[in-house]
Amino acid sequence: MPERTRLPWRRAPLAILALAVLAPDADAHLPALRGRLIELVQQSDVIVAAKVKQTQPAGEPVSTTTIAVERVLRGHTAGPTLSFRGAIHVAPGARYVFFLRHSGAVVECVQPSGVVFPAPPQDDAVYRATIVAIGEALQADDPSRELKLRAALVPALSAGAAALRYNAALELASMSAHGPPLGDDERARLARLLADPHVDPALRPLLVPLISAPRNTSMETKEPIGDRLEKEGRGG
């Protein structure tokens, strides 16, 4: 695998690293609803859109999945067919985007159980654009990396695939909370998106606060606890 695609954790934006550390799923009793695109891109050697050919149990909860690669979105594959081990369960015939990583001689899927990306062919372009842009942003130096990552997520907000759309929106909201507030250009882009009557209404509660957030403060780093508690209200 080309070394340049193996982005080490030390190059990760601080906020993303913090998220990975702060929200471990393994010991949570409830699944965390959060965006995972950036960490999945970061952990992957190869990302493909592929149709499932076969699955075989490999000791619960792991299964071995064989796929027919239809489009390589990142990295390289040795051939049109690929087998990997992972915690996701998908059926033969269905088409998904898979985030994969080489581990010695085997290929592993880095997606946790239940984190799947259905991929009708018409969404290939937006998947590719998002993944490529995230990959490029991850190689940029601070502080532009944060802005580039956010910019990479915006096109995915209009994706047909709900999983891609929701992941992008959740990730954008989280990054905005941890990092610098959105700039005027970013706000304008989101405002245009939300003005579209066809936009998924589920995105509004996530994106509207980003547009209306103060321009020169960060909730995570600058807002005193007392202010946050005050905002939350005192019950009723």
Positions touching another protein (CB under 8 A) are 19, 22-23, 25-35, 52, 54-57, 60-61, 63, 88-94, 112-116, 162-163, 166, 170, 173-174, 176-178, 201-202, 205-206, 219-220, 225-226, 228-229, 232-236
DSSP annotation of 215 reads T
* Comparison of 18 and 151: residue with beta carbon closer to another protein: 18
* Comparison of 75 and 179: residue with beta carbon closer to another protein: 179
Sign of the torsion formed by the C-alpha atoms of 28, 32, 34 and 39: positive
* Comparison of 12 and 75: residue with beta carbon closer to another protein: 12
Pair 127, 103: CB distance under 8 Å = no
Sign of the torsion formed by the C-alpha atoms of 78, 125, 91 and 57: positive
Pair 204, 233: CB distance under 8 Å = no
DSSP annotation of 72 reads E
Least Cβ distance, residue 4 to another protein (angstroms): 30
* Comparison of 42 and 55: residue with beta carbon closer to another protein: 55
* Comparison of 52 and 151: residue with beta carbon closer to another protein: 52
Least Cβ distance, residue 234 to another protein (angstroms): 5
Least Cβ distance, residue 17 to another protein (angstroms): 13
Pair 16, 39: CB distance under 8 Å = yes
Burial annotation 150-165 (CB, 10 A radius, 16+ → b, else e): bbbbbbbbbbebebbb
Least Cβ distance, residue 143 to another protein (angstroms): 19
Chain position carrying tokens 């929200």? 23
Least Cβ distance, residue 221 to another protein (angstroms): 9
